[in-house]
Amino acid sequence: MMNTYFTFWHYGAVIFFTLLLIFLIILTLKQPKSTSKVSIIFTYVLVIPGFMFGALLVIDSYTKKTTLSDVKDHRFLPTEKIFFIGSVRNTGNYTIGEVSVEIKIVNKDTPALEGKPSYQSNAFAELIGDGRVKPSYLIVTEVVATNLKPGQRKEFRIIMPHPSYFKGYTSYVRAYGQ
């Protein structure tokens, strides 16, 4: 279950759009000679919640701000794992229910750095029977903090596999609050 916090801005948006929907439905029902009341109300019921959802996303982007700091990675060769350590900080003014960190590693030896999504095995690998198309990137997302108060900082450690066919990797790390 996701722990998330609605601020008074979220509740205000929900109340505003709910009242707007009720007002528009009542206004439509009071029209004396409208033949398409049902279709108009149906349109309101579809459009107003869409605007409400968009408003909640915009409010989230302004109230749930996180920053990453001191992110380091280390490849542990015996187990073919990569260890990422670092910290996340709530830089906003409101509590964040969950802070997630997304790590994307990309094989340095493939066209993935140019935007292509897969790695084609080389001729030697095809000769011995490994001609499969393999992904040239790997994405891992983990929740690293819950109920993060404003200004609070939390350390994290994420362990992810290092594919054996990667010649090296470039990592992209981002944090976001929910």
Give the C-alpha separation, 84 to 138, whole Å.
14
The residue behind tokens 């003014």 is 93
- Per-residue model confidence as pLDDT tens digits over 67-109: 998 999 888 888 889 999 999 999 988 888 889 999 999 888 6
Report the C-alpha gap between 59 and 5 in whole angstroms: 12
pTM: 0.72
The 8 Å CB, 24+ separation contacts for 17-24 are 17/48, 17/49, 17/51, 17/52, 17/55, 18/52, 20/48, 21/45, 21/48, 21/49, 24/48
Section 34-54 average pLDDT: 91
Q: Give the CA angle between residues 153, 159, 162 to the nearest 5°.
A: 140
* Local structure of 45: helix, strand or coil: helix
DSSP state letter for 94: S
What is the Cα–Cα distance from 13 to 56, expressed in whole angstroms? 7
Answer whether 152's CB lies under 8 Å from 133's CB: no
Question: pLDDT tens across 111-166, in order?
Answer: 545 555 555 555 555 556 555 667 788 899 999 998 889 999 999 999 998 888 78
List, in order, residues 6 or more apart from 43 with CB less than 8 Å away: none
Rounded CA separation 112/91 (Å): 33
